[in-house]
């Protein structure tokens, strides 16, 4: 047997995985939303049972528009407005990812979105960290160990970026490993938060930027060359700078820079289909970008809205591109090489979990 063969479905489910791009408020269990809505008195849910609610989220997100996709978060954020609710969601996220074979995950959230019932941003961060710790401990007891770290996200059309960046630095040794900006790209370039990025660089803190998802190359260029992003959230539109002539790829200056500098692409295939960044899985740029040896990573983005998991993403890629076990190991190692945890921690997961796990398959 060899890693250079197409894996079975069972092997894909058991393969070790690493996840860099997953939103806490996009991965709730439908039943949890119902429970939290009942506890908090939230009355805007579009369905009253878990199955119907799950279907509504998937259908509503499948719009072909990033802006409409983002509207679904009104309901998940709406029920995440207390410390206990946020801790529950974080705990369940850790458990769900561990059950899916994820050995390392960076989960992001925007503290500023959870203040409607009186919490401060610091309270939100504390609650998330409590939930992740509980989930990690329970997963370990179940024989499914996972390491979960978090990114604090600022919403690009709001004004809490500087305060969020301060929290990243304050909590960097307690489980917060980086910063991000998210939200509608058009009209809100990353340079609007330049003060936050310059502060983070002075403090030697890590950050990624949502760029090149719904907006094109200018967004990617600003994120890298002006703001100093270490990774690109999605970055799928880098394909706009690659021309194919008679089957041969010709990289433009920006695409060449991204590949040469090994800037990680946090690609989220199923989500990209929903927001219109790709027409079908077979057409998704991840296939060509992987062949061109960009630093490609595979991610879920929003597990509820995209009705997905890492195993599902791997399965769809297997159908579209006939990836081998070696390809899946490569994107998993790519993710760990690009993680915002210390080098020795990354190396330990690669050498003690990922490589032995794939060899065992």
Question: What positions carry a catalytic annotation?
Answer: 213
Tokens of 181: 């900006």
Q: Cα–chain-centroid distance for residue 1?
A: 32
Distance CA 122, CA 112 (A): 10
Distance CA 57, CA 69 (A): 9
Distance CA 83, CA 97 (A): 21
Show Cβ contacts of residue 194 under 8 Å, excluding neighbours closer than 6 positions: 226, 227
Show Cβ contacts of residue 129 under 8 Å, excluding neighbours closer than 6 positions: 90, 150, 171, 174, 175, 176
Q: How far apart are the first and last CA of the chain?
A: 9
Tokens of 15: 């393969």
Residue 252 phi/psi, 5° resolution?
-75, 180
Distance CA 292, CA 256 (A): 10
Distance CA 127, CA 147 (A): 17
Distance CA 266, CA 299 (A): 7
Tokens of 127: 């609650």
182, 204, 98: which is closest to 143 by C-alpha?
98
Which residues in 124-254 belong to E strands, given as ranges? 147-155, 176-182, 208-211, 231-234, 242-245, 248-251
Tokens of 219: 């967004």
Which residues in 142-247 belong to E strands, given as ranges? 147-155, 176-182, 208-211, 231-234, 242-245
């Amino acid at each position: 047997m060899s890693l250079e063969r197409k894996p079975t479905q069972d092997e894909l489910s058991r393969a070790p995985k690493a996840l860099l791009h997953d939103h806490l408020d996009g991965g709730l269990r439908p039943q949890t939303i119902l429970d939290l809505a009942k506890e908090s008195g939230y009355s805007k849910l579009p369905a009253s049972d878990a199955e119907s609610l799950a279907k509504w989220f998937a259908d509503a997100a499948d719009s072909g528009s990033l802006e409409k996709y983002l509207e679904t978060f009104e309901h998940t954020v709406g029920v995440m407005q207390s410390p206990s609710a946020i801790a529950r969601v974080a705990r369940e996220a850790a458990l769900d990812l561990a059950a899916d074979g994820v050995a390392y995950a960076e989960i992001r959230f925007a503290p500023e979105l959870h203040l409607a019932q009186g919490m401060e941003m610091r309270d939100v961060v504390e609650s998330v960290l409590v939930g992740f710790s509980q989930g990690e401990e329970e997963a370990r007891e179940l024989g499914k160990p996972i390491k979960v770290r978090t990114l604090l996200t600022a919403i690009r059309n709001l004004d809490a970026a500087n305060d969020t960046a301060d929290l990243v630095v304050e909590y960097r040794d307690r489980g917060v490993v980086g910063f991000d900006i998210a939200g509608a790209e058009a009209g809100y370039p990353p340079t609007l938060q330049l003060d936050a990025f310059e502060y983070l660089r002075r403090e030697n803190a890590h950050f990624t930027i949502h760029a090149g998802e719904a907006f094109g190359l200018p967004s990617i260029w600003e994120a890298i060359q002006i703001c100093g992003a270490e990774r690109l959230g999605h970055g799928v539109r880098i394909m706009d700078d690659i021309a194919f002539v008679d089957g041969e790829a010709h990289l433009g200056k920006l695409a060449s820079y991204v590949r040469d500098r090994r800037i990680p692409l946090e690609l989220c295939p199923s989500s990209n289909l929903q927001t219109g960044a790709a027409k079908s899985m077979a057409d998704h740029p991840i296939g060509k970008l992987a062949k061109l040896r960009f630093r490609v990573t595979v991610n879920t983005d929003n597990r509820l809205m995209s009705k997905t998991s890492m195993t599902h993403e791997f399965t769809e890629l297997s159908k579209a591109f006939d990836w081998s076990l070696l390809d899946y190991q490569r994107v998993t190692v790519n993710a760990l090489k690009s993680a915002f945890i210390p080098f020795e921690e990354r190396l330990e997961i690669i050498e003690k979990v990922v490589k032995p796990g794939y060899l065992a398959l």
